[in-house]
Amino acid sequence: MGWHSRTRTLQVFDTELSADTVEWCPLPQWSHVLACGIYQLQKGDDKQTAEDSPAPSRIGRLYLFDCNPRPSFIPPLTETQRIDTPAVLDVKWCHVPISERPLLGMATASGEIQLYKLMESQQGTCVLECELSTELGPDRLALSLDWSTGRGESSDVRVVSSDSSGSLTALSLGEATLTTVCQWKAHDFEAWISAFSYWDTQIVYSGMRVTVVELLHVWSLIQCGLPGIQSCMYREYSSGPSTEPCGEPVLSVRMGPSSPSFTSKRHTMGVCSIHSNPHREHILATGSYDENMLLWDGRNMKLPLSETAVGGGVWRLKWHPSQEHLLLAACMHNDFHILHCQKAMEGQDAPCPVLASHILHNSLAYGADWSRLPLSNSTPPSPQEPPRTSVGLTESGGHLRIQYESPTASFDTSLEDESGQYIPEQCSLPEKSSIPDPFTSPARDSQSLSCLMASCSFYDHMMHVWRWDWSPEEKQKPSEPTPLPEHSRYDGL
């Protein structure tokens, strides 16, 4: 069965300052809430000398939006709140309610982890109130955070954070407290990313940026006074010159939380994104400045399951909320891509094909996330109706319609026939035989998938809300004497 894949921009929001992280609330009752974090470096006067110029300051902002993807020409997002903060490096919602409310974690350039509770205002909108804050240490930036609740586990809620000093910090959330469980020097340089294994939250992954060797570390939190054994095995696999044969393990036993239980040098540049699959045990995705996404089986990390070149440097990876094989990648210099990882998960040593791409950002693609809001299987009209532009398209027999022009002078377009019906963009898709079915159940072969996403880019300070529609190709009935123009399920609602 052939499949149609299409992305469409619904709204572009100017964040005014550089946007680098975005996250939808994962809780069903509040899945319409979207948070976006801002990081802005303010430099001194260019006329000042280096000695007189003050150190650059980092300012930030936290945006909160309400989303209603209704079938109209009204843009779906409404800004409900903005909070001036230290520069924001990462935001993540806790996957379970805390005291019956959503909780948002934020990593800041002031070296703090700040927690915000989502509340209802007197006007009936949702707003964030600062609940807790803790400092990771002096002279450092908090670079990332992750919650241990990725599979909806509400017991022993913890946060892990990485910082610019190369340290990792594990924190435990109690009643009105955020307590440091342990902190250790994990890397010699910036620890760009840290993440839990959602299936065994005693395991933490981290990645760093260095100039010679790039490392992915695996840590066991049982060394931090938590129940379990008190030592671990340190394993290092080297792809460079070594006294051991290339690819053979170098083993040693060390004590204490400063030693990883596993280290990989498979990435050739800095590891800056890690995400544990919440639907498939042992599956882990990592991304790097080397422009590759690696898929791993946590039980055997000597070699990755697959390696996919996505280009641009892979800054963030997000697994789909319900489809275990779909992975969203923010690829810095190469936009945003949706990957299909089923064959790799099944042990077939093959790259993960790209199902769709969102290419309208004109700057560093940093933040991206899936929404859990339910959508119809048809694409809504554009958020605004600009004048049509007719272009002579002899081969396609259609008109090019500008769906949306972003403030960065890029366009979202679709091809229409004379009656205004959408003509599928066959030329931009892979061969039909190479497009995998996103569903694993044969009973669902005829169903479609529609997803809402948000993404943000840095220097052009833009946040996009867009949707991806994935639907089976309709086959013509043999009895029809004259085939009608091929229509898409994306027209109307």
Higher pLDDT, 121 or 47: 121
Residue 393 has pLDDT above 60, yes or no: no
Could you give the CA distance from residue 475 to residue 4 in angstroms, rounded to a whole number? 12
pLDDT (mean) for 266-275: 91
Q: CB of 215 within 8 A of CB of 271?
A: yes
Adjacency order of strands within the sheet including 177-185:
142-147, 158-163, 167-174, 177-185
pLDDT for res 55:
65
| DSSP symbols for 301-340 | -SS-SEEEE-SS---EEEE-SS-TTEEEEE-BTT-EEEEE
Categorize the per-residue pLDDT at 52 as very low, low, confident or very high, splitting at 50, 70 and 90.
Answer: low
Q: What is the pTM of this model?
A: 0.78
| Pair type for strands 316-319 and 326-330 | antiparallel
pLDDT score of 209: 63
Task: Quote the pLDDT of residue 123.
Answer: 82
pLDDT at residue 343 in the model: 95
Question: Is residue 49 very low, low, confident or very high in pLDDT (cuts 50, 70, 90)?
Answer: low
Residues 6+ apart with CB under 8 A from 377: 447, 448, 449, 450, 469, 471, 489
SS3 125: coil
Q: In this predicted structure, what is the pLDDT of residue 474? A: 63
Q: Render pLDDT for 282-339 as a digit per residue (tens, 0 to 9).
A: 999 999 999 999 999 999 888 999 999 999 999 999 999 999 999 999 999 999 999 9
The proportion of the chain whose per-residue pLDDT surpasses 70, expressed as a percent, equals: 67
Assigned fold of 7-44+55-378+445-472 = Methylamine Dehydrogenase; Chain H (2.130.10)
Residue pLDDT, tens place only, 94-116: 999 999 999 999 999 999 999 99
The span from the first CA to the last CA of the chain, in angstroms, equals 24
Predicted confidence band of residue 1 (pLDDT cuts 50, 70, 90): low
Give the Cα-Cα-Cα angle 219, 179, 31 (nearest 5 degrees): 85
Lookup: tokens for 91:
């935001």
Using CA atoms in the order 21, 27, 31, 34, what is the torsion angle rounded to 10 degrees? -20
Average pLDDT over residues 148-177: 94
> According to the model, what pLDDT value does residue 3 have?
77
How many angstroms separate the CA atoms of 18 and 60, rounded? 9
Range 121-141 average pLDDT: 93
The pLDDT assigned to 258 comes to 56
pLDDT at 84: 97
| Position 186 confidence tier, pLDDT thresholds 50, 70, 90 | confident
For residue 98, what pLDDT is reported?
96
201 Cβ partners below 8 Å, 6+ apart? 148, 153, 156, 158, 221
Structure confidence at residue 487 (pLDDT):
36
Buried b (16+ CB within 10 A) or exposed e, 110-148: bbbbbbbbbeeeeeeebbbeebbebebeeebbbbbbbbb
Q: What percent of the chain has pLDDT over 90?
A: 56
Looking up tokens 């995705």 gives 285
pLDDT of residue 440: 47
3-state secondary structure of 428: helix
181, pLDDT greater than 50: yes
What pLDDT shows up at residue 259? 64
Confidence grade of residue 268 (pLDDT, cut at 50, 70, 90): confident
Q: What distance lies between CA 473 and its chain's CA centroid?
A: 29
Q: Which residue has the higher pLDDT, 34 or 485?
A: 34
Give yes or no for residue 239 having a pLDDT over 90.
no
Of 173, 180, 178, 122, which Cα lies nearest the Cα of 149? 173
- Nearest of 181, 259, 272 to residue 218 by alpha carbon: 259
What's residue 413's pLDDT?
Answer: 39
More confident residue, 485 or 305: 305
Q: What is the mean pLDDT of the chain?
A: 77
Domain boundaries, the chain: 7-44+55-378+445-472
pLDDT digits 0-9 by tens, 428-449:
333 333 556 655 443 344 578 9
C-alpha dist (Å) from residue 49 to 53, 56, 191, 401: 6, 13, 31, 52
pLDDT of 79 above 50: yes
Could you read off the pLDDT of 330-373 as tens digits, one per residue?
999 999 999 999 999 998 889 999 999 999 898 999 999 999 99
pLDDT, greater one: 125 or 56: 125
Query: With bands split at pLDDT 50, 70 and 90, how would you rate the model's confidence at 471?
Result: confident
Above 90 in pLDDT, residue 43? no
